[in-house]
Every structure is written in structure tokens, then in C-alpha cells.
Structure 1
Amino acid sequence: MVNVTKSDTAQERDKSSANDFGKIFFNVINPQCLKEDFPIVCTKYGWFGICIQYGQDTTQPKVWQFAKGPKFPTR
């Protein structure tokens, strides 16, 4: 027989709350992150000069830029 103490129940509740917060913050609000990487440039243009393909310009020095944030794992 397993004894479930009050602290075990509280700990599980806290984990559940933390997981709910992580899912909402990272998957719904979806904040952007800053990263240092090579500049992103257009590598292929479509009709009316709209960029349809992007790539990194490795000939330029790295710059700080916004990137997609991580996804929170769901179970």
C-alpha cells in the first residue's frame, strides 16, 4: 500500500499548475526570443517583389535578431 502524504499531493498540484502556465505562456502567447546569428535575407522573389524564400547571409557578421520561441511539450 502506498502512503500519499499531503506534501505529495501539493507537489503534484504545483507541477500541474506549472505545466498549465508553461503551455499557456509558450504555446498560446508564443513569445519571441533574441538570438545572435547571421542576418536573414531574401533568397528568392516571387510576383510583385514579394519574398518567397529566406536564407542566412554568412558573409555578414552575426547580429542580434528575433526568433521563434520554444514550444512547451504537451503530453
Structure 2
Amino acid sequence: MKFAIIQVLMPAMVAARMVFLNNENESDYERAGSWQIIYPGTKWCGAGNVAQNENDFGPEIEADRCCKAHDLCDDYIEAGGTKHNLTNSAFYTRLKCQCDEDFNACLKKGNTRASNQVGYLYFNALGTQCFREDYPVISCVRYTITPKRKCLEYEYDTTKEKIYQWFDVQIY
């Protein structure tokens, strides 16, 4: 499974290094799509991963372990995909909210410069969303102010059946 956990960070990761995956059997067109942006010092934090195997981590191991676990989330909707009666119109893969919550907690527990930067970018700076099954949302009752306006608290219609819906990810 190769999907990005922080694919949405591409514009914000100015310091990230570009990694070109070279395969002599690929055409130039195919290789052009192989560029990846990976957070410095990690092998799992970015679009895809550059790890040689499942136990290969960069020097920023705390952040890397969190990113790997996030990459391996068991329920996700790829860009343009449909699942649980939801269509993902974003350019990045969206995950179930529990995976994003676990990712947030893991990065906070790591509490390194890299894990905190990845956490801030993914959860605060970008407008990422996750999905979960819950009562239908009536409205948002509390928002963040900056850097991106996100809903912090929802009002639900508990008289109706639970459905899958998009939710703003928690702040870091």
C-alpha cells in the first residue's frame, strides 16, 4: 500500500528533500511521476515512503514511526475514490478519524522538533479532513481562528441513524 500520509504537506515542506526513484525499466514519463517529497530526516513522512523495508527509519525516528503507522491505516479513501457513501474530492488520501487521532497523539508523544513540525503542518496549517460514522451533523458550534478555520465542536442530530461524514482533523 503506497499512499501519502503527509501528501498534503507538499506546498508547506519547503525544506523537504526531493527523492527521485530511479528504475531503468520505466519510461521518462513514468519516472516523472516518481518524484517524492519526504520530510527531512524521515523515510515515511511525505508522499509515499523511501524506506528499504518496514524496519527502515530515518534519523528522525520518532516522527518516522508515527508516519509509518499513519501510512498503514486500515480504512482510507484515496483521492477521487468513493467508500462508505463518501467521495473524496481532495487531491490526497483521507483516512478514518481514529487513524488521524492516533497520529496526532503519536507525534505529541514523540515531542521532537520533527514530530512537532509534521504535526503542526498536517493538523493546523492544512485543511485536512477525516471520516467517521456518527450522528448527522447539524452545524459547527465552535471554530478555530487561525491558521485555517476548522470546526472544533459539532452539533449532532441524535434522532437520526449514524452515517459516515467528513470531519475537520483535530488541532495539534
**TM-score (normalised: structure 2):** 0.25
* Structure ID, larger Rg: 1
Alignment of 1:33-72 (within 5 A): 33-41=130-138, 55-72=155-172
Greater fraction strand: 1
2:131 pairs with 1:31: no
Structure 1 segments unaligned to the other structure (5+ residues): 1-9, 43-53
- Map Cα deviations across residues 11-49 of structure 1 (whole Å, 9 max, x no partner): 7xx72112111111110013111121111247xxxxxxx
1:65 partner SS: strand
**TM-score (normalised: structure 1):** 0.52
Give the RMSD, CA atoms, in angstroms. 2.4
Identity %, equivalent residues: 30
Aligned residues: 50
Structure with the larger RCO, 1 or 2 (CA within 8 Å, 6+ apart): 1
Greater fraction helix: 1
In structure 2, distance between residues paired with 1:58 and 1:21: 35
Structure 2 segments unaligned to the other structure (5+ residues): 1-58, 64-111, 140-153
CA spacing shift, 1:41–1:22, aligned 2, 3 Å: closer
Q: CA deviation at 1:59?
A: 2.2
